[in-house]
Copies of this chain bind each other. A is one copy, B any other.
């Protein structure tokens, strides 16, 4: 599905949408480029584009099928960049990953979006309002896009960090819950997120070090800045992974300690109930000569003794922390 297509001349957008065929004609003139945005296109929808822009069949395949890993590839004078977008979904505590594929040529940008994770509309709007940047050509679009995508990693990471904080609190609270499942699921999210972001570091470095002609030299420093944010995100994910591994270990200790506490509590109650049983057993013996049995107050005295001993044990166990 074609979402938006426009011709930019000296950084200024020509009014409204343009027909693809029209775009094809115009783009070759100096100072002009087209930007075509698609959403989960079918092979048929893509055909005209790939013919016009002479896209490499392998690149087209990457754009139509999602589930690529992030990468940067050069086909002749075209760049192909595959990115993952990320969005934190709070109720289920998962990172929803989307995919953006960008074809970058000297006079065109084609962006293909998969999944709902993040719309590219804000990028388009921001750029349309900044002809200064757009004048630097399609590379400016690529940077704006990368900037949005990588900046969007931060709230997702913060969502995970928040979850980790909650898990930590749960872990060391007295609530006796077992956050093993939650820790494990967070670990899975962190691993998945890392896999979606870390492979992008190297492509961004190549963009920043700038050996690509279609990218205006002044924009290169901006790619370095984006990469900086990306590396920070990766480092944060690495630290999270280590923390979660540690918290799984700590959880084991918590589980063990709690079991111990329960065992003590149970044992204390067993001891408390065992004593009257033993006393009752003694006075249940059938010896003929048991003077206490004949005492008028023998029975209440025995009951009292049971009570006193139980109370004393109870206080003792309270004091040593078993109850």
Residues of A within 8 A of B (CB): 56, 58, 61, 68-69, 71, 73, 75, 168, 171-172, 178, 180-181, 183-184, 187-188, 191-192, 195, 199, 221-222, 224-225, 228, 231-232, 235-236, 239, 241-260, 262-264, 266-267, 269-271, 273-278, 280-290, 292-299, 302-303, 306
Contacts and interface: CB of A to CB of B under 8 A. Distances in A.
Q: How many copies does the complex hold?
A: 5
A297 B263 CA distance: 39
A298 B287 contact: yes
Contacts of A244: 246
A253 B251 contact: yes
A285 B257 contact: no
Contacts of A253: 178, 180, 248, 251-252, 255
Central interface residue in A184, A270, A296, by most chain B CB within 10 Å: A184
Given A73-B224, A228-B68, A285 B286 contact: yes
Majority DSSP secondary structure for residues of A touching B: helix
B58 A257 contact: no
Contact of A282 (B71, B199, B280): B280
Given A168-B184, A239-B192, A256-B259, A275 B273 contact: yes
